[in-house]
Amino acid sequence: MPNKYIRYTIAFLLILGLVLVRRFEDSLFYDPLINYFHTVGHFIFPEIDMAKFNASTTLRFAINALLTVLIIWFIFWNRSYVRFSILVLIISFIILLPLYNYLISTKFSSGEMIFFYVRRFLIQPIFVLILIPCFYYQEIQHKKRDEN
């Protein structure tokens, strides 16, 4: 096991990678909905090339997922946490992408907020914000059990 400080430094650099993906999203990914959500009123629904859009969303999710898994690996150095994270990310992607496509095809007829949050889980690294506290809590529980 590498030094804890080296692991945390690498995790920090990977978090910077997530920040860079977000910073350069306009130039890296095809997403006509960025401007749609930045305008007040959302009157005109943009034309979307669904094949290109899905490919871009998949690529972005994959980059965020890879960085998330690596961050978890370097913070906790635990293979079971990495396997669980990969499983959660794959299942989430399988469920969320078709739902995302359905919501786009209906032009958000079931509500913009549902679409907004599904979109957030696909294009932002929300899972890292959920999984790290969960694993940290798990570590605390293991330590408490070991002490008793």
The band of 148, judged by pLDDT with boundaries at 50, 70 and 90, is confident
Measured CA to CA, the distance from residue 50 to residue 104 in angstroms comes to: 9
Domain count, the chain: 1
- pLDDT at residue 36, as a whole number: 78
pLDDT digits (tens, 9 = 90+) for 98-144: 999 999 999 878 778 888 899 999 999 999 999 999 999 999 999 98
CB hemisphere CA count around 25 (13 angstroms)? 17
pTM (2 d.p.): 0.91
| Model confidence band, residue 44 (pLDDT cutoffs 50, 70, 90) | confident
pLDDT of residue 42: 63
List the single range of 9-13, 44-48, 61-65 with lowest mean pLDDT.
44-48
CB 115 within 8 A of CB 108: yes
Which residue carries 């401007």 as its tokens? 35
pLDDT band, residue 15 (cuts 50/70/90): very high
Are 104 and 114 in contact by the 8 Å Cβ rule? The answer is no
d(CA 74, CA 8): 7
Domain residue limits at 110: 4-147
C-alpha of 113 from chain center: 18
